[in-house]
């Protein structure tokens, strides 16, 4: 829980004192998980880098407008998501926020399954990629990023009950596939 | 139980991930008793444990390059270097600072008051939770309740807990001098190895004792009472003494077995309890219904079953409309 305290402390130092060291702390702490999310949403590392630069630049520039009463992690994931959407829109003005994550896909190599052969991993990845984009994004945020369902609701801006319903349906769909005894 | 309730319960997550053996065994036992929920439990478990991914860390060097780029973009280069070189200060300032640090370290090591780190355990509506306290005693929290207690405890110390809501305590046998005190809405219950229930909602705590002995103290007036097994007590703010009732303690603590036991209990009390523990306020068709009395045992595991039982016991009709219970006489 020490981490949680440090995060809150640095969030406050950023808001109230404009302390660059606080920005550095949040940057170091969240860069990797946020980058992984941006890569998943955008499919391109160069673009994902830009999304993170923009996110942290905004965080600094608008620090006085930040709210004290947020779950910092959820706030940052949400901010990255918004910036990813903005970047996609620059390339194609018709991108809707709903289209974000359409491309989100899983690779067999990403999966960490006990005693599983590559073939099994391929089957699991294929099953995951057959889920709806929403479900895939929730699966990613839950199992890769370890966010709580409450945080996921904040990040993708739908209500908690819908997140649970999406996740439940996804799990049922994966379980239908009897050949996937990977749990 | 609904899927969301499983997901929201930290002890359930402990079962799913097997991260706490006591919770694991408790849920395994619950599962054996409630086989109808086995499938839903498995699904909820998958929703919590799911699939393991291989995580990718951005290499430190790349991260620092990105940080430099960000600083450049914001025009902040060099400003984040917060460590000032020491040689600008006079040498004695450094020495004085060093001595201050040593003094502070000495104070920290030997003289600082021991500030306990507090833990909070809480339950939502319709949820029970049993936890082990640092001294080995057990506390079962009723729905919509919160218990604060220090994370650590040393043999010989007093263990002080703060309660809002309702909880049942099974206190490990104490050596003399090891007090166990539950503080709730201005009433302190001090015990020696014992089993007792503290109800502390709406500022009128009721303490019921099942085994052993407890001493109650009202902190404002200093009034005290000694309870015997089976008795329950409530502080009377007008007379400034404790009112003691015999034979109510078992009834009062029945919630922890997912049951409510009623003995000539007025409907008004039952409805208050439903609001406290399930978060559903109620409205009655006729005021006089509130005086109807109910005796018997009802299961509280499912709200619908509880309401059905009450309909039969009280001969009323209960309907939920927009989060409010409407009660009509038949």
Range A71-97 average pLDDT: 82
- Answer whether residue A66 is part of any domain: yes
Domain boundary among A98, A116, A136: A98
Residues B235 and B147 in one domain: yes
CB contact under 8 A, B3 and A24: no
Percent of chain A predicted with pLDDT > 70: 89
Asked if A43 and A110 sit in the same domain, the reply is no
Contact status, residue B130 vs residue B140, Cβ threshold 8 Å: yes
Whether chain A has a CB inside 8 Å of the CB on B77: the answer is no
Of the residues A98, A115, A134, the one at which a domain ends: A98
Highest mean pLDDT range out of A47-61, B68-82, B275-289, B293-307? A47-61
Q: Note whether residue B106 is domain-resident.
A: no
Report the DSSP beta bridge partners of residue B182: B161, B189
> What pLDDT shows up at residue A28?
94
Residue B262 within a domain: yes
Verify that A6 and A83 share a domain, yes or no.
yes
- Average pLDDT of span B56-70: 90
pLDDT tens profile A1-55: 567 889 999 999 999 999 999 999 999 999 999 999 999 998 888 889 999 999 9
**Is pLDDT above 50 for B86?**
no
Tell whether B74 is within 8 A of chain A (Cβ). yes
CATH of residue A162's domain is: 1.10.10.10
| Shared-domain flag, residues A52 and A115 | no
Chain B positions in Cβ-Cβ contact with residue A174 (cut-off 8 Å):
46
- Res B71: pLDDT: 92
Phi/psi for B314 (5° steps) reads: -105, -5
Residue B311 in domain: yes
Range of the domain at B122: 118-251
Nearest CA among B237, B232, B236, B228 for reference residue B250: B232
Mean pLDDT of chain B: 79
Q: Which of B167, B144, B329 is nearest to B252 (CA)?
A: B167
Specify the higher pLDDT residue, B136 or A59.
Answer: A59
User: Which residues in chain A have Cβ-Cβ distances shorter than 8 Å to B58?
Assistant: 31-32, 35
Which range is least confidently modeled, A30-39, B64-73, B169-178?
B169-178
Rounded to the nearest integer, the mean pLDDT of chain A is 86
CA distances from B68 to B61, B75, B77, B78, B147 (A): 11, 10, 8, 10, 47
Q: Is A165 on the interface with B (CB under 8 A)?
A: no
Total domain count for chain B? Answer: 3
Query: What stretches of B4-145 adopt beta strand conformation (E)?
Result: 118-122, 129-132, 138-141
pLDDT score, position B82: 44
- Which residues lie across from B184 on neighbouring strands? B187
Domain's final residue, options A76, A98, A120: A98
CATH number at residue A61: 1.10.1740.10
Instruction: For residue B207, give the CATH number of its domain.
Output: 2.60.120.1440
Same domain flag for B132 and B243:
yes
Task: Kindly state whether residues A83 and A6 are assigned to the same domain.
Answer: yes
User: Residue A123 sits in which domain range?
Assistant: 104-176
Nearest Cα residue to B120 out of B162, B87, B78: B162
pLDDT at position B81, please? Answer: 46
The nearest CA of chain B is from the CA of A160 a distance in Å of: 10
Same domain, B210 and B236: yes
Residue B67, chain A, CB below 8 Å: the answer is yes
What pLDDT digit, counting tens, does each position of B13-33 carry?
Answer: 889 888 888 999 999 999 999
Return d(Cα B140, Cα B25) in angstroms, integer: 16
A60 and A108 both lie in a single domain: no
Compute CA distances B309 → A60, B126, B220, B297, B301, whole Å: 59, 17, 41, 9, 12
The total of structural domains in chain A comes to 2
Indicate whether B196 pLDDT > 70.
yes
Checking if the pLDDT of A58 tops 80, the result is yes
Share of chain A above pLDDT 90, in %: 52
A117 shares a domain with A92:
no
Q: Are residues A49 and A113 in the same domain?
A: no
Do the Cβ atoms of B52 and A112 come within 8 Å?
yes
* Residues B129, B159 within the same domain: yes
The answer to whether residues B181 and B221 belong to one domain is yes
pLDDT of amino acid B89? 46
pLDDT at A57: 95
Co-location of A12 and A82 in the same domain:
yes
Residue B320 lies in a domain: yes
pLDDT at position B30: 93
Does residue B226 carry a pLDDT above 90?
no
A148 touches chain B (CB under 8 A): no
Q: Is residue B80 part of a domain?
A: no
Residue A85 lies in a domain: yes
Residue A137 sits in the same domain as residue A76: no
Same domain? For B273 and B244 the reply is no
Same domain? For B140 and B42 the reply is no
Binary contact (B73, A183; C-beta < 8 A): no
- pLDDT score recorded for residue A92: 62
With respect to residue B263, please indicate whether it lies within any of the assigned structural domains.
Answer: yes
Same-domain check for residues B244 and B225: yes
Please check whether residues B163 and B284 belong to one and the same domain: no
Does residue B94 have a pLDDT over 70? no
Is B307 inside a domain boundary? yes
Q: Mean pLDDT, to the nearest integer, of B178-204? A: 78
- Read off the pLDDT of residues A128-155 as tens digits, 9 standing for 90 and up: 888 889 999 999 999 999 999 999 999 9
Please report whether residue B93 resides in a domain.
no
The reply to whether A110 falls in a domain is yes
Position B113 scores a pLDDT of: 45
Q: CB–CB of A77/B91 below 8 Å?
A: no
Task: Answer yes or no: is A182 within a domain.
Answer: no
Most confident of A20-34, A91-105, A120-134, B227-241: A20-34
- What pLDDT, in 10s, does the model give residues B237-268? 788 888 888 767 777 777 777 888 787 888 88
Residue A183 belongs to a domain: no
- Does B216 lie in the same domain as B314? no
Q: Quick one: B224 and B194 in the same domain?
A: yes
Q: Looking at CA atoms only, how far is residue A63 from chain B in angstroms?
A: 13
pLDDT at A73 exceeding the cut of 90? yes
* Same-domain pairing of B242 and B265: no
Which residues in chain B touch residue A128, judged by CB atoms under 8 angstroms apart?
51
CA closest to A162 among chain B residues: B4
Q: Are residues A15 and A94 in the same domain?
A: yes
Same domain, A115 and A63: no
Distance of residue B266 Cα from the nearest chain A Cα, in angstroms: 36
| Residue ending a domain, choose from B33, B49, B65 | B49
A83 and A110 belong to one structural domain: no
């Amino acid at each position: 829980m020490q981490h949680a305290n440090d995060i809150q402390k640095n969030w406050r130092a950023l808001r109230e004192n404009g302390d660059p060291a606080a920005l550095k702390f949040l940057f170091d702490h969240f860069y990797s998980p946020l980058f992984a999310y941006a890569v998943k949403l955008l499919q391109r590392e160069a673009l994902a880098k830009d999304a993170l630069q923009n996110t942290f630049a905004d965080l600094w520039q608008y620090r006085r407008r930040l709210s004290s009463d947020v779950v910092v992690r959820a706030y940052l994931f949400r901010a990255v998501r918004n910036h990813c959407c903005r970047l996609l829109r620059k390339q194609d003005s018709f991108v809707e926020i709903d289209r974000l994550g359409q491309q989100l896909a899983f690779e067999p190599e990403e999966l960490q399954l006990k005693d599983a052969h590559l073939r099994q991993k391929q089957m699991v990845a294929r099953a995951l990629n057959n889920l709806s984009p929403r479900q895939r994004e929730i699966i990613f945020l839950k199992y890769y990023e370890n966010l709580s369902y409450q945080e996921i609701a904040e990040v993708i801006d739908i209500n908690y009950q819908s997140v649970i319903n999406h996740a439940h349906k996804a799990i049922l769909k994966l379980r239908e596939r009897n050949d996937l005894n990977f749990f | 139980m609904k899927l969301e309730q499983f997901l929201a319960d930290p002890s359930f997550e402990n079962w799913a991930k097997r991260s706490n053996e006591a919770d694991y065994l408790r849920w395994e036992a619950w599962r054996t008793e409630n086989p109808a929920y086995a499938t839903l439990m498995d699904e909820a478990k998958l929703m919590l444990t799911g699939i393991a991914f291989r995580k990718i860390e951005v290499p430190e060097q790349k991260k620092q390059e990105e940080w430099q780029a960000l600083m450049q973009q914001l025009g902040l280069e060099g400003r984040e270097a917060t460590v000032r070189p020491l040689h600008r200060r006079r040498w004695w300032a450094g020495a004085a600072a060093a001595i201050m640090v040593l003094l502070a370290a000495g104070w920290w090591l030997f003289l600082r008051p021991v500030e306990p780190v507090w833990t909070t355990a809480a339950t939502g509506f319709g949820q029970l939770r049993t936890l082990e306290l640092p001294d080995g005693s057990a506390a079962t929290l009723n729905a919509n309740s919160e218990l604060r207690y220090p994370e650590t405890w040393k043999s010989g110390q007093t263990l002080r807990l703060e309660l809002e809501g309702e909880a049942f305590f099974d206190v490990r046998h104490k050596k003399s001098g090891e007090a166990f005190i539950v503080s709730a809405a201005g009433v302190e219950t001090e015990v020696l190895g014992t089993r007792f229930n503290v109800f502390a909602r709406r500022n009128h705590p009721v303490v019921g004792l099942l085994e052993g002995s407890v001493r109650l103290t009202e902190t404002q007036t200093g009034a005290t009472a000694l309870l015997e097994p089976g008795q329950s007590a409530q502080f009377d703010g007008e007379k400034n003494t404790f009112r003691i009732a015999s034979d109510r303690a078992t009834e009062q603590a029945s919630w922890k077995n997912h049951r409510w036991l009623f003995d000539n209990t007025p409907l008004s009390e039952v409805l208050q309890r439903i609001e406290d523990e399930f978060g559903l306020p109620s409205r009655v068709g006729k005021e006089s219904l509130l005086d109807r009395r109910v005796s018997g045992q009802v299961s509280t595991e499912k709200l619908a079953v509880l309401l059905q039982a009450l309909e039969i016991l009280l001969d009323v009709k209960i309907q939920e409309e927009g989060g409010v219970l409407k009660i009509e006489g038949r």
